[in-house]
Copies of this chain bind each other. A is one copy, B any other.
Amino acid sequence: MRNRQIFLVDKPEGALEERHFELREAEAPEPRAGEALVRTVLLSLDAANRAWMQGPTYRGEMAAGSVMEGFGVGEVVASKDGALAPGDLVAGMLGWQDYSVHPARRLRKLPRDYRPVSHFISLLGVAGKTAHHGLLQVGRPREGETVLVSAAAGSVGAYVGQIAKIKGCRAIGIAGGPDKCSWIVDTLGYDAAIDYKAEDVAQRLAELCPDGVDVYFDNVGGRILQAALFNMALRGRVVCCGAISQYDTTEMESPRGIPGVIVFKRLRLEGFIVSDFPDKDAEAERDLAAWYAEGRLQVAEDVLDGLEAAPRGLIGLLAGDNIGKRMVRVGPDPD
């Protein structure tokens, strides 16, 4: 079986470019005892993929010279482990390739009949659960509070604002460009949008939130984090989810005024990743599926076609050209 694989052949110094990747072909590997061979159906493209190249984070640094790592959903085509059988739908770190072999315990079995499969990457995947855990377990907004979200048209931000509205909060989104800004208000139900490419974020925050922001869900870091910090309400909470403005560059910008603003506003800044709340996953999936079924939550997906689209898809995502959860369709859904 022919296996297309995209390697990270070189690590970017500045911005990530297509030349850092290379498509190669090999024979598909064979599973050994305790392993399964998986055919990739959908690959998730995430800002975190780029952060992994910068150095050790919550995982080791990604090395050049190996298949690009990434989360995906696939179909088991062969198994040497009793827990998995051909035809099973699984999620895991499949990597940018058609086929891959994994210890069965590293794969999460998904319901076989749920459609669309893409929801396991968007609504019910890392994106939806990151939004749910981050907002409700870390930010813990109370009804009537103001929730601010950056990258509000992105994979996670699109859900954060909607969940905030479902919980009775006011939701303000920051996004780049008029299309995203209209979309988050008109389609997702954000109360207001700030276009960071055209507006002064700090000034608009002061206008829109004269009593301050109670919960800021930060996906971007940098200058927008700084503007948010100085517009927080007393005892505001900052959910530190990501820092997309800081990943594809060597010129990192920490916000000014730390720790002063944290002390005098008595802020709480707290970081998390989605796997920190395994005991809340079932609740999050239940909520998200129910809200979607009831028509209260819109799912936004941005699906690129073909494995070879992954490099430019990731590069574009880092530049903010996606709306909703970006993923790559590598192969057809299981029958």
Residue of B nearest to A258 (CB): B254
Cβ < 8 Å to B, chain A residues 29-54? 51
**Which of B58, B225, B264 is within 8 Å of A58, CB to CB?**
B264
Cβ–Cβ contact B276 & A263, under 8 A: no
Measured between beta carbons, the chain B residues less than 8 angstroms from A56 are 264
Q: Which residues of B contact A258 (CB under 8 A)?
A: 221, 225, 254-255, 258
The reply to whether A254 and B252 contact each other, CB–CB distance below 8 Å, is no
Given A246-B260, A254-B255, does the pair A269, B272 have CB atoms closer than 8 Å?
A: no
- A218 to chain B: which residues have CB within 8 Å? 259
Q: In the complex, A240 Cα to B255 Cα: how many Å? A: 16
Q: Which residues of B contact A259 (CB under 8 A)?
A: 218, 221, 225, 238, 240, 243, 269, 271
Chain B residues near A66 (CB, 8 Å)? none
State how many angstroms separate the Cβ of A140 from the closest Cβ of chain B. Answer: 13
- Choose one: B252, B266, B271; the contact of A262 (CB below 8 Å): B271
> In the assembled complex, how far is the CB of residue A215 from the closest CB belonging to chain B, in whole angstroms?
14
Residue in contact with A263 in the complex, picked from B241, B264, B267, CB distance below 8 Å: B241
Q: Is A313 on the interface with B (CB-CB < 8 A)?
A: no
Complex CA gap A254/B223 in Å reads 13
Asked if A268 is at the interface (CB within 8 A of a chain B CB), the reply is yes
* Contact in complex: B276, A271 (CB < 8 Å): no
Given A258-B254, A259-B240, A260-B243, decide whether A272 and B266 contact each other with a Cβ distance below 8 A: yes
A278: interface (CB < 8 Å): no
> Does residue A139 face the partner (Cβ distance < 8 Å to B)?
no
Count of this chain's copies in the oligomeric assembly: 2
CB contact list, A292-334 vs B, under 8 A:
none
CB of A57 within 8 A of CB of B271, answer no
Q: In the complex, which of the residues B254, B255, B263 contacts A272, with contact meaning CB atoms closer than 8 Å?
A: B263
Query: What's the minimum C-beta distance from A264 to chain B, rounded to whole angstroms?
Result: 4
Number of A residues near B (Cβ < 8 Å) is 34
Chain B residues with CB under 8 A of A246:
260
Min C-beta distance of A258 to chain B, whole Å: 5
Shortest Cβ gap from A4 to chain B (Å):
31
List residues of chain B with CB within 8 A of the CB of A51.
260
1/0 per position for A249-292, CB-CB distance to B under 8 A? 00010111111101111111111110010000000000000000
A74 at interface by CB-CB < 8 Å:
no
Q: In this assembly, does A242 line the interface, its C-beta being within 8 Å of a C-beta of chain B?
A: yes
The CA-CA distance from A241 to B266 in the complex, in Å, is 9
A151 to chain B, nearest CB (A): 13
Contact, CB under 8 Å: A270 / B268: yes
Contact between chains at A240 and B221 (CB < 8 Å):
no
A64 and B272 CA atoms in complex are apart in Å by 44
Residues from chain B with a CB closer than 8 A to the CB of A255 are 254, 258
Is the Cβ of B262 less than 8 Å from the Cβ of A269? Answer: yes
List chain B residues, Cβ under 8 A from A273. 263-264, 266
11 contacts between A and B (CB under 8 A): A57-B263, A58-B264, A58-B266, A221-B258, A221-B260, A243-B259, A259-B271, A263-B273, A266-B272, A266-B273, A268-B268
